Amino acid sequence: MTLPSMLTFEAPGAALVRSVPDCFNDSIQEHPADIDVARAREQHTAYVSALKEVGIAVRVLPALPDHPDCCFVEDPAVVIGRRALLTRSAAPQRQGESAGLSEALADWCSISSMPAPATLDGGDILRVGQILYVGRTARSNSEGLAWLKLAAAAEGLTVCPVPLRAGLHLKSAVTLASPELLIYCPEMLHPGPLEAAGIELLPTDEPHGGNVLALGDTVLVSASAPRTAEALHRRNLRVRVLQVDEFHKADGALTCLSLRLPRVRTWTA
């Protein structure tokens, strides 16, 4: 089904990533576990290589030594077309992670920031055509949603809140596998609000299967979700499997490791 958008879906033209800090083992974790920082850096390098292999220009920002979660660079900003909204985290430990993002985005976007008491994480924002689905989570409140609506309206987009049953962010539970297909974890959310997207919804029973990253005709899938990878392969998608288990320990996944910038007249996951 064709989405109601004047734009085409393509891989991003560029992406920002941030290096893994020495203090990554102190990141926020729902289920505390020892993180192998050296192995996380190896996995991060492989992730960056995967982005570059599909033609994305990647800029690597330096780690922020006082911010253990800073490699999850998607959360402190939302890019909508040629606009970027710097967000404010509900987790005090993560406030300040937007440092350096304004400079990195300045040649690409106009930039605005949300003040307190608004909170919003980029991981709660899922774009499908002209709709921004927003997770109603502990990280994103009604004031943050209001600021997002202002930015979205300027680009002709609408905003649709989505309640979650479980999971840190909306994109912990559901992501775009292709412009025609959403993959989601039924244990984490009811798909009802997403049915308005007008595209197919594919359930997965793997906890890390709901977070994939569509890059044009390639989709990145966590090695921790082999059945999901196989299901997407059967859909004739070009599947690239990556090890990101060290990031899973910090409640992170594929989408949150990059801030993706769309090409002109396109939209991207």
Alpha-carbon torsion 85, 142, 168, 98, what sign? positive
Three-state DSSP at 70 gives coil
256 counts as catalytic? yes
**Cα gap 65→23, rounded to integer Å:** 7
Catalytic residue among 70, 109, 185, 256: 256
Q: Which amino acid is at 125?
A: I
Three-state DSSP at 111 gives strand
**Best CA proximity match to 42, nearest among 238, 228, 247:** 247
Catalytic residue among 67, 169, 208, 248: 169
Residue 219 bridge partners (DSSP):
214, 239
Span between the terminal Cα atoms of the chain, in Å: 17
169 counts as catalytic? yes
Please compute, for residue 6, the number of CA atoms within 13 A of its CA located in the half-sphere on the CB side: 6
**Which positions are annotated as active-site residues?**
169, 256
